[in-house]
A and B are shown apart, each in its own frame.
Chain A
Amino acid sequence: MNIVVCAKQVVDVSEIKVDSSTKKPILSGVPQKISDIDKNALEEAIRIKEKHGGKITVVTVGPSDAKERIKELLAMGADEGVLVVPPQNADYSVVSHILAGAIKKIGGYDIVLCGEASIDMFSGQMGPRVAGLLNIPQITYAQNVVVEKDKVVSERNLGDKAVTIESPYPVLITVTKEINQPRLPSLMQILASSSKPIHKWSASDVASGKLEPKIKTVDIKGVPMVRKNVIFHDDLDQCVNKLVDELAKVGVLR
């Protein structure tokens, strides 16, 4: 099985601070990491490889420093990395063209795996867009993946129902966070990964024609959340009574 995993470098959303006057998020200086659910995608790829053999290539569209993040993925078990630095105004459409172009250039793939969405933007567009550009079947929200000789069988989690779907190769699959627990690489694996190749391709190497964004970000607004933050500290009975009095006063007990 030749597998391509699409992994995005994102800001660690749990580390984002909010500017107290503008209520806007402060994005500079926030640590970067690989989007959590993309790690689930890589873990699934590694499990498939362990059972059926093959090769795993990870593709990241991001800034040059994303190379450090790709090393972590190679340590986890990917065989090769590809980094493509996008043009400045890259929207969902531009990135999907680059990813699809890079996957075609890698070639000979059976499965493309990615997370159901990235944890920063959470748009969930990338998988289906790339599948559309490659004109291959898509299986989204997979909560398990079973690889067979000439087909893959997967169960999709749609919240109110589970749909089992099978597809021939090649196929693109997006996974949920529940599908597995991504492994932590050992020190030996981290050391060994330094000999694995990371290819740096330019956007024009992989995507022909003009890469024009279809969406422009006009603003990143803050989300003012005004909460009273009244914390009761006395002995427990008093706390409970004060809370109940307050709730009655603001009119939510009726």
Chain B
Amino acid sequence: MVLVYSDDKKLTLELLNKGKELAKELHKKVIAVCIGHDSFAKDYLEHGADSVIAAEADLHTFKAEEYASILEKIVKENNVEVVLIGSNKNGKELAARLSAKLDTGCVTDCTNVYVKDKKIVTERMVYSGNAIAVEQFLSHPQIVTIPPKAFNPLPKTEGHKGEVIKKKYDFERSPSKITKVQEMKTEGVNVEDAEIIVSCGRGFKNKDDIRLVRELADALKGRTIGCSRPIAADLKWLSEDHWIGLSGHKVKPKLYIACGISGQIQHIAGMRDSGVVVAINKDPEALIFKSADYGIVGDLYQVLPKLTNAIREKMG
């Protein structure tokens, strides 16, 4: 069996596509798991799952310890050989905890997964995007986490039938207690889906100056602005949904304009899959120019207004 789980429905559909492909090659079936509800069971069946296990359990909030305890039971009961888990923050800590319980291997954030000699091989970025590690499992079950957008979901097959197994699970309770869940301040920006991103970094002196980036983004009709780590994490001039980098979001727009960004490798790791990259920086030695198709060496306070005007003229 190939098991697919994420608390994010969209991500589960993407995993199902990969899961289906791996299952076919291994002559296995693919099962999707819902924990604590069965709301998405029909969608999962229509997007490729052979069956869905809807685990009924007395829990309200996510705790990796408890979810791992439930998944451990499901894996053992169903003779699961491959586990694909969505690589968001919950998914990563869940996968690692589960692999400790099952005393097996786990590889996180894989952007490629395939079968070789009946074993799973994974590829993922390491050394801040400077290399790709190719790793192969020596143990069962094989636990892999996959980030959003690594694979497309399968097209929907209306009325695709399959079994929905509803079953109650007991689990080991964690003595920890969640006391508050607070939505973080976001501006509803989705940099991962953006086609054009204008991004800002430490080269900006004041929070208000970020309007220069906004104006350029507007002129490009891209309207999406991003930033490097200091702007979101340290200065908090923009909410974290703008943050592009290793710990932030990974983006692949067709045009990426980096303004006043030095080009630390952690930032490059977040934007290296972009189509065309433009860099504006006053330091001719800035690392960002090595990762750029076009660069202007200059003061962004002078460059940006001129560039915005020129683009407005060009685009009419």
Binding site for B on A (CB under 8 A): 11, 13-14, 16, 18, 24-25, 91-93, 96, 119-133, 137-141, 153, 157-168, 171, 176-178, 212-223, 225, 227-233, 236-237, 239-241, 243-244, 246-248, 250, 252-254
Size of the chain B interface, CB-CB below 8 angstroms:
88
Please give 11 more A-B residue pairs, beta carbons under 8 A apart, in addition to A124-B108, A128-B97.
A119-B128, A122-B128, A160-B183, A162-B184, A214-B138, A215-B105, A215-B138, A231-B284, A236-B302, A237-B306, A246-B294
Q: How far is the CA of A215 from the CA of B123 in the complex (A)?
A: 12
Check A128 against B184 for contact (C-beta < 8 Å): no
Residue on A nearest B131 in the bound complex, by CB = A25
A244 touches B96 (CB 8 A): no
Chain B, 159-184, CB within 8 A of any chain A CB: 174-184
Closest residue of A by beta carbon distance from B299 = A236
Query: How many inter-chain residue pairs (CB < 8 Å) link A and B?
Result: 259
A91-B105 CB under 8 A given contacts A160-B183, A213-B138: yes
Give the chain A neighbours of B311 by CB distance below 8 A.
244, 247, 253
Query: What separation, in Å, do the CA atoms of A246 and B311 have in the docked complex?
Result: 12
* A160 (CB) vs chain B CBs: closest residue: B184
> Which of A132, A171, A254 counts the most chain B CB atoms within 10 A?
A132
Complex formed: what's the CA distance from A126 to B97 in Å?
Answer: 9
Check B293–A229 contact: CB distance below 8 A: yes
Is the pair B176, A166 in contact by a Cβ cutoff of 8 Å?
yes
Contacts of A13 in B (CB 8 A): 127-128, 130, 265
Query: Which residues B63-96 have CB closer than 8 A to chain A?
Result: 64-65, 68, 89-90, 92-96
Interface pick from B12-20, B33-41, B49-57, B272-280? B272-280
Q: Is the interface of A mostly helix, strand, loop or mixed?
A: mixed
Asked if B297 contacts A229 (CB within 8 A), the reply is no
Which chain B residues border A171 with CB–CB below 8 Å? Answer: 176
Please give, as numbers and ranges, the residues of chain A lying within 8 Å of B298 by CB-CB distance.
Answer: 236, 239
Q: Nearest residue in B to A222 (C-beta to C-beta)? A: B131
Say whether A16 contacts B135, CB under 8 Å: no
- Are the C-beta atoms of A137 and B174 separated by less than 8 Å? yes
A129 touches B127 (CB 8 A): no
A181 to B294, CA, bound (A): 35
- Alpha-carbon distance between A127 and B131 when the two chains are bound, in angstroms: 23
Q: List the A side residues contacting B64 at CB < 8 Å.
A: 128, 138, 140
